[in-house]
Chain A
Amino acid sequence: AAGVIQSPRHLIKEKRETATLKCYPIPRHDTVYWYQQGPGQDPQFLISFYEKMQSDKGSIPDRFSAQQFSDYHSELNMSSLELGDSALYFCASSLRRYGTNYGYTFGSGTRLTVV
């Protein structure tokens, strides 16, 4: 079965550089979520999109932006990278259309290291 695809798996960037993470949700899933997991921490919600519109926002820095495209894939753009942005970034997708919560499928994550 198709899963959530995230790319790249690993990314090394220098301070003040820009990074773009990509997420391809499960086909027919209408909602995408982004989470950030720092070392030894739990995943923290950043932002979500429902049917290509931003639906909720968490603790996402102003330096970060995200969008969902017409093919439902999503990108998380991070600018002016800081050492503290080093983390595992997860994308998840779900089907919310019928007013219930069918659960989430997570991608394998992108490990970002800022040096």
Chain B
Amino acid sequence: AQKVTQAQTEISVVEKEDVTLDCVYETRDTTYYLFWYKQPPSGELVFLIRRNSFDEQNEISGRYSWNFQKSTSSFNFTITASQVVDSAVYFCALSELQGGKLIFGQGTELSVKP
């Protein structure tokens, strides 16, 4: 069965701090996709990144970076120099190749204080 675990329910940091959101997943598939979504207070789900299981390269996009490690089944997300606008709930999610449905983690609520 597929499962995504985000052990950190809430994280609070002060602006300009770096913060890492953890994500651990379980799947029996050899081909799968991992995602991160941001959900600001307005409620919409904002796509951040998609990574397939064959691509273990880390990725950086501005202040955001992702560390994918198949050996530990983890797909962690780091925000460098956090800003108040980063305050949101962040979801890690997993899907299989053909089935398509997304399995979400429980979400991590990030609060960035000025």
Contacts and interface: CB of A to CB of B under 8 A. Distances in A.
B97 interface: yes
Specify which of B33, B35, B44, B100 lies most central, judged by the most chain A CB atoms within 10 Å of its CB: B100
Contacts of A56: 99-101
A90 interface: yes
B40 to A, nearest CB: 12
Interface in A2-48: 31, 33, 35, 41-45, 48
A108 B45 CA distance: 7
Contacts of A101: 33, 52, 95-97, 100
Contact of B98 (A92, A96, A105, A106): A96
Contact-residue size bin, chain B (C-beta under 8 Å from the other chain) = 20 to 34
A3 to B, nearest CB: 10
Contact of A99 (B45, B47, B97, B104): B97
A109 B91 contact: no
Given A33-B102, A48-B101, A100-B97, A42 B107 contact: yes
Contact of B47 (A31, A48, A88, A104): A104
B62 interface: no
Given A103-B35, A103-B50, A94 B100 contact: yes
Given A104-B47, A109-B43, A99 B98 contact: yes
Contacts of A96: 98, 100
Given A56-B99, A99-B97, A101-B95, A90 B105 contact: no
Contacts of B107: 42
A56 B100 CA distance: 9
A55 interface: yes
Interface in A35-70: 35, 41-45, 48, 50, 55-56, 58
Nearest to B109: A40
